[in-house]
Amino acid sequence: MAGKTIDEFTVGEVALSPGRTVTETDIVTYSWVSGDTNPMHTDAVHAAKSPIGQRIAHGTLVLSIATGLSARIGQLDGTAIAALGVDEWKFLKPVFINDTIYLRTTVIEARVSSKPDRGVLVRRMEILNQHGEVVQTGLMTTMVARKSDAPSKR
């Protein structure tokens, strides 16, 4: 277990992932897998005529990449038990082909659950582009293992 247990997280703690460049291949593959072939993602001519002026990545593709960036931070490697929810998610700015995104996480809550061997971690997730602009944000809640020798807080 290389990741942190719920007992090791501190409210206010911030972590930043390495970057990940969003490619045309990512968008085309996600269109195929998801079935979302909206021309804003798949048709350069259509997108060029739109108010945005170019193709954009699917918002949910960027959210999916954020889960991978969270894994790259490594804090939950081997300690995450289950995803419990995504709340208050906002898509604030478009992500374009060749944008590089980063994930900044801030611990909002870290508490032992009703079962003493695990806890609940709530993090503010902010996806930033290469200009440092927040393009998406929301809360992710994860069930996380507890130290096996931690005293019960029940």
Residue 150's pLDDT is 55
Whole-model pTM: value is 0.91
- The DSSP line for 49-116 is TSSS-S-B--HHHHHHHHHHHHHHH-TTTTTEEEEEEEEEEEE-S--BTT-EEEEEEEEEEEEE-SST
Contact 108, 142 (CB under 8 A): no
Mean pLDDT along residues 32-51 = 96
* Tens-digit pLDDT profile for residues 88-140: 999 999 999 999 999 999 999 999 999 999 999 999 999 999 999 999 999 99
Residue 95's pLDDT is 98
> Is residue 153 predicted with pLDDT exceeding 70?
no
Residue 149's pLDDT is 60
> Is residue 1 predicted with pLDDT exceeding 90?
no
Evaluate the CA torsion angle 59, 61, 66, 69 in order and state its sign: negative
Contact 145, 1 (CB under 8 A): yes
* Tens-digit pLDDT profile for residues 46-89: 999 999 999 999 999 999 999 999 999 999 999 999 999 999 99
CATH 3.10.129.10 fits 6-145, yes or no: yes
Residue 85's pLDDT is 97
Evaluate the CA torsion angle 87, 115, 105, 28 in order and state its sign: negative
If one counts every other C-beta atom within 10 angstroms of the C-beta of residue 56, the result is: 22
Contact 110, 11 (CB under 8 A): yes
> Is residue 148 predicted with pLDDT exceeding 90?
no
The pLDDT-based confidence of 154 (bands split at 50, 70, 90) is very low
Q: What angle do CA 79, 82, 83 make, to 5 degrees?
A: 115
> Is residue 151 predicted with pLDDT exceeding 60?
no
Instruction: Round the CA-based radius of gyration of the chain to a whole number and report it.
Output: 18
